[in-house]
Amino acid sequence: MNDKIYDIAIIGAGPGGYHAAIRAAQYDAIVALIEKDKVGGTCLNRGCIPTKTLYSAAKLIEDINEKSNEFGVDLDGEIKPNFKKAVDRKNKVVDELVEGVKALVKQRKVDLFSGHGSIIGGSIDTGFDVKIEGEYIKQIIAKRVIIATGSSPALIPAFNIDHARILTSDDILSSDFKEVPETLLIIGGGVIGCEFANIFSRFGSKIIILEYLPTILATEEKLIVRELKKKFKKMGIEIYENQNVLKVENTESRVIATTCDARVPRDQIDSAEKIKYNANLCLISIGRARSTKGLGLENTKIRVERGSIKVNPKTLETAEKGIYAIGDVTGGLMLAHIASYEGDIAVYNALYSIGGFDTVPHEADYSVVPASIFTSPEIGSVGLREKSLKDRGTKIRTGRFGYAALGKAKCMGEEEGFLMIITDEKTGTILGASCIGVEAPELIAEIALAMKYGLRVQELGETIHSHPTVSEMVLEAAEDVHGLAIHRARRRVKLEVEKHEDIYQKFKESKRILELLYKRTLA
């Protein structure tokens, strides 16, 4: 038994867990951080960072192949993508960032324990007993506990995942996976599937995507998906939608997936027409499962519903007073930045609770959550979608601007895509935005800030943007909401914002007076 009593023990050192640990330590809390694998969790070791590192390599290959001649760069000989070197660089980036996080944790005097953490008893009044099973078994006491154990790739028995030729994203991002298959079959056309399709296509693989739903990236704007599909088709990526994958088999020479039409009723699947797809390797990217097992939840009042820990959506406290949960494990949005944000909320509330305050200092607010997809072109989004708003009966006005009309984009040779901003027709309140094109996630960040603090689209349009920059996309799309985009041709301008309407009316009146004076002069 460790004699030290911790203010907060955090189980899981992913982006939510280590963020919470450092934040708590900044407020002079005594913190224990428990991690059974590597600091940084899925995001840093087997997710966000390694995929974006490989994406950067794939984008460089694309730029060399498609831009070098036009940009005046003569290349002698054949361009040979080297996936092994790209993986080596990916591993180096990951290792450096992991060591960086560990150094930050150490600098803040957070006690980092290596092992599997579980709650074995206790309460908010007596403190919680937490067992750590690693090289040695330890037991600590903490006044409050934050569960931040994340998620892992979802496994379906019929897919026969063998981690050799039928793989998960964990397998394909492992430090020693350096194979570029001749053909890669990807089951699942969500964010993970599309990002890997883009990467491996650039390194030379033939890509086949099988998607159960009527479209890949089903939660994105239709126009955005259409633009990406156009690019994927150009790259030779095959997409088959409405595909119900019944089984995946690893034969001696190939991986074979058997499907039927996803619209066939379940009781008619046996007699339905079957289609077989085959490849050298298969990536299963059908979602992720919350990591709730082995945490000792049975020793608490914590409720688990549909595999997720149930929390108060505002305070993030579980049914067991004094224990909080954040990130993927709670069943919310599976985004690293959500986990980090929730880490702050849980820490503030835990520290207030320890201090004996009855009021809640912070409540979680998910009204503005930006999201990114790193395909080429990149995708960024925030807020609501056009269809969902129309289905609600909300009267909206949309502004749109294409990269092809932007000076900086032309300079960069990045003319694909567009930005759209959706607003309330009457008030100009920004309800959502979606972008596909170069630096799309960065553009969405500005719009997210405007939404968070209630700026209207008119105020975005009145903000001076540096020229020439990609950020001018925001200016032009914002002005286009009311037909005022300078670099977009329109037959007729509709000025419905009070300020501009007033200017327009005064201009018309002045014009009428001038015409009368001119006629009198001629007479």
Measured at the CA of 265, the angle between CA 191 and CA 244, to 5 degrees, comes to 30
Say whether 116 is catalytic.
Answer: no
**Where on the phi/psi map is residue 22: left (φ > 0), alpha (ψ -120 to 50), or beta?**
alpha
Of the candidates 121, 53, 46, 111, the one whose C-alpha atom is nearest the C-alpha of residue 86 is 53
337, 467, 487, 500: the active-site residue: 467
Residues in contact with 355: Cβ distance below 8 Å, sequence separation at least 6, in sequence order? none
Handedness of CA 229, 233, 237, 240 (dihedral sign): positive
- The Cβ of residue 465 has, within 10 Å, a number of other Cβ atoms equal to 17
Contact, 251 vs 165, CB < 8 A? no
Asked if the peptide bond before residue 81 counts as cis, ω within 30 degrees of 0, the response is: no
Q: Which helix (H) or strand (E) holds 430?
A: strand 430-436
Cβ-based burial of 414 (10 A; exposed 0-12, middle 13-18, buried ≥19): buried
The amino acid sitting at 68 is S
Measured at the CA of 302, the angle between CA 297 and CA 305, to 5 degrees, comes to 100
Structure tokens at 93: 């980036």
Give catalytic residues, as residue numbers. Answer: 467
